[in-house]
A and B are shown apart, each in its own frame.
Chain A
Amino acid sequence: MRYLRLYLKYNAQNVKSLMSYRADFLMGFLGFLGNQLLGVAFIGFLFSAIPSLAGWSFDEILFIYGFAQLPRGLDHVLTDNFWILAWRMVAKGEFDRFLLRPLPPLFQLVADRFQPDGFGELVAGVAVLAIAWGRLGLNISFGRLAALAIAVTAGFFIYAGVKLALASLAFWVKNSQGYLFMAYKVGDFSMYPVGVFPKALRFVMSFILPFAFTAYYPAAAILGRESMALGLGGSVLAAAAACLVASLAWQSGLKAYESAGS
């Protein structure tokens, strides 16, 4: 409870400081929104050349694509500081201050940054998902909405977990941003049916960097093309595994932290 209150307090301050960079916020938001719209346009071009992709219709692909933006956008808004950790916090010793306050360092790391650019992905995702939902003629049932909520939450934890695990490598290598970029490339693939990818890549995106569980599997389950056990159960399991690995990496990273300079 105390942490929730403090989290809100931190974020109220974050929003205040964002207000001093309004133009910056608007540019970031529009940038990520535009990025998503280009992604949708790309799918459009793709389907103007071919009638279906490995048995998937345009609207179904759109559905998966829209869904995929939700956990990704949520993660972008909430845990963007993991990128900064990977990039310079360890190398420059900026991480020191988290060790000097009477709060868990991970809490401070998350609470210290709020990235509204991610709303670009969220807005685009909700819009694309709603359009695809309508065009596919799916009815809005409680079950589907609940599945959506669980899957988005699990997907968020997969993103956050993988990001934190890779960002924690910075405690040893000082700058681990390269690994994060690589992981995000795999994340980009997760917006398409895994069936279109070669076996090796399918294995990686299901078991190593389980981004397929942030998008394809749960979205296909909601569409009724994969089982709920795989779509939801798999996502929750993958989320738990990602968080476990992240926690181990983070904890041992804290021990290895060497600070920097004077």
Chain B
Amino acid sequence: MIRVDGLCKTFKAPKRFPGLRGAVKGLFSREYTYTTAVDDVSFRIAEGEVVGYIGANGAGKSTTIKMMTGILTPSAGRVTVAGVVPYENRMLNASRIGVVFGQRTQLWWDLPVSESLSLLRDIYEVKPAEYQERLAFLNGVLELDEFMMSPVRTLSLGQRMRADLAASLIHRPKVLYLDEPTIGLDAIVKERVRGAVKELNRSYGTTIVLTTHDLADIEELCRHIIVIDRGRKVYDGTLPELRAAYGRGRTIRAHIAGFASFDPAALDAALKALDPGASARKEADELVARFDASATGIAKVVQALMAACEIADYTVEETPIEDIVKRIYAEARRDVVAGDSVAGDPAAAAGRI
């Protein structure tokens, strides 16, 4: 559905100097700063996938999305969405995609939601029967009725987000881009937005590309994830693969009998015999054992625990996805420092503005 090959985007800006004198100097200077926001990124997204596109602030997520939606033209490389190059054939592409920017509404500020939707119906030339059917569907998952007649400027952030989602879906796009759709939303609205995205993907098979800082979005919605850092792709695979590759750490938390007098030193030594990186210690009112599941089996650790003390109950936790992503970043940056071409690259030296 989406093919991205060797995509690059470099922004050119006049070089700036600090202070008022610097500002004047900048006016007459012919020097430029080049900032590479996206650097040789390639990936494929299949039809019907829900893809999480993850990166820190300034990693190049939004720039990539803007090239995929046709707002920006790449400096190098190529994007095709359902066979169309978005920035060359903008109107055709626009008729097939839906876009929601969490930070910025695309609705008409002073118009009631219902009027915005009916204007969009005319713009996308949606047939009346289809329009009614979609509106009913969207109303079902997003509960639009309560604010359908209110001007957009009077909506709460959560309502506005739901209205924006509805507006981006009225023409049943093949691909939906969601740029930070849950930013600033409370837990209940987040849940509703996620539910709507899932429902949409299930009912219509819409391909969805999602950028987010909230990794819970990713865990709940996406199978395929792509991670970029400083403009470069650092991971591309499925969530289970990611867990298998990075998420080997496990934590067992146990409530035990005689906790106050229990000394974890012997248990700690027993675990270190199984896995040198493992540990056992007391935290608050729990006995906590940490180990690497690829070095030793869970069963062996549990056996060791049961031999050392009397367990009332216990839980096993996987590595949270936040930690995995942090690790990917750390590894990517270490590679860059240890490597290679980047040191001599003026763009990388200039960094992000």
Is B119 an interface residue, CB under 8 A from the partner? yes
Q: Is the Cβ of B91 less than 8 Å from the Cβ of A13?
A: no
Bound CA–CA A199/B18 (angstroms): 44
Closest Cβ of chain B: how far from A152's Cβ, in Å? 30
Is A101 an interface residue, CB under 8 A from the partner? yes
Contacts of A258 in B (CB 8 A): 11, 72
Contacts of B119 in A (CB 8 A): 9-10, 13
Is B181 an interface residue, CB under 8 A from the partner? no
Is A195 an interface residue, CB under 8 A from the partner? no
Contacts of A16 in B (CB 8 A): 111, 115
Contacts of A255 in B (CB 8 A): 73
User: Number of B residues contacting the other chain (C-beta, 8 Å)?
Assistant: 32
Q: Is the Cβ of B111 less than 8 Å from the Cβ of A262?
A: no
Cβ < 8 Å to B, chain A residues 41-96: 93-94, 96
Bound CA–CA A257/B69 (angstroms): 14
Q: Is the Cβ of B108 less than 8 Å from the Cβ of A17?
A: yes
Cβ < 8 Å to A, chain B residues 73-113: 73, 90-92, 94-95, 97, 99, 101, 103-104, 106, 108-111
Q: Is the Cβ of B94 less than 8 Å from the Cβ of A259?
A: no
Is B62 an interface residue, CB under 8 A from the partner? yes
* Secondary structure type dominating chain B contacts: mixed
Closest Cβ of chain A: how far from B60's Cβ, in Å? 11
Is B124 an interface residue, CB under 8 A from the partner? yes
Q: Is the Cβ of B71 less than 8 Å from the Cβ of A96?
A: yes
Q: Is the Cβ of B71 less than 8 Å from the Cβ of A100?
A: yes
Q: Is the Cβ of B111 less than 8 Å from the Cβ of A101?
A: no
Q: A20-B151, A100-B99 are in contact. Are A6 and B94 (CB under 8 A)?
A: no
Closest Cβ of chain B: how far from A127's Cβ, in Å? 31
Q: Is the Cβ of A102 less than 8 Å from the Cβ of B123?
A: yes
Contacts of A21 in B (CB 8 A): 110
Q: Is the Cβ of B92 less than 8 Å from the Cβ of A17?
A: no
Contacts of B57 in A (CB 8 A): 262
Contacts of A100 in B (CB 8 A): 69-71, 94, 97, 99, 106
Q: Is the Cβ of A102 less than 8 Å from the Cβ of B11?
A: no
Q: Give B302-327 as 1s and 0s: 1 = Cβ < 8 Å from A's Cβ atoms.
A: 00000000000000000000000000
Closest Cβ of chain A: how far from B243's Cβ, in Å? 28
Closest Cβ of chain A: how far from B89's Cβ, in Å? 11
Is A103 an interface residue, CB under 8 A from the partner? yes
Contacts of B49 in A (CB 8 A): none
Is B180 an interface residue, CB under 8 A from the partner? yes
Q: Is the Cβ of A262 less than 8 Å from the Cβ of B62?
A: yes
Contacts of A261 in B (CB 8 A): 62, 103
- Looking at A16, A102, A257, the one whose CB has the most chain B CB atoms below 10 A away is A102
Is A104 an interface residue, CB under 8 A from the partner? yes
Bound CA–CA A93/B71 (angstroms): 10
Contacts of B106 in A (CB 8 A): 97, 100
Q: Is the Cβ of B111 less than 8 Å from the Cβ of A13?
A: yes
Q: Which residue of A lies closest to B119 (CB)?
A: A13
Tell which of A20, A93, A96, A101 touches B123, judged by Cβ atoms closer than 8 Å: A101
- Looking at A255, A257, A262, the one whose CB has the most chain B CB atoms below 10 A away is A262
Contacts of A10 in B (CB 8 A): 119
Bound CA–CA A99/B70 (angstroms): 7
Beyond A20-B110, A96-B104, A262-B103, list 12 extra A-B contacts (CB 8 Å): A17-B108, A17-B111, A20-B151, A21-B110, A96-B101, A99-B69, A99-B70, A99-B90, A102-B91, A258-B11, A258-B72, A259-B66
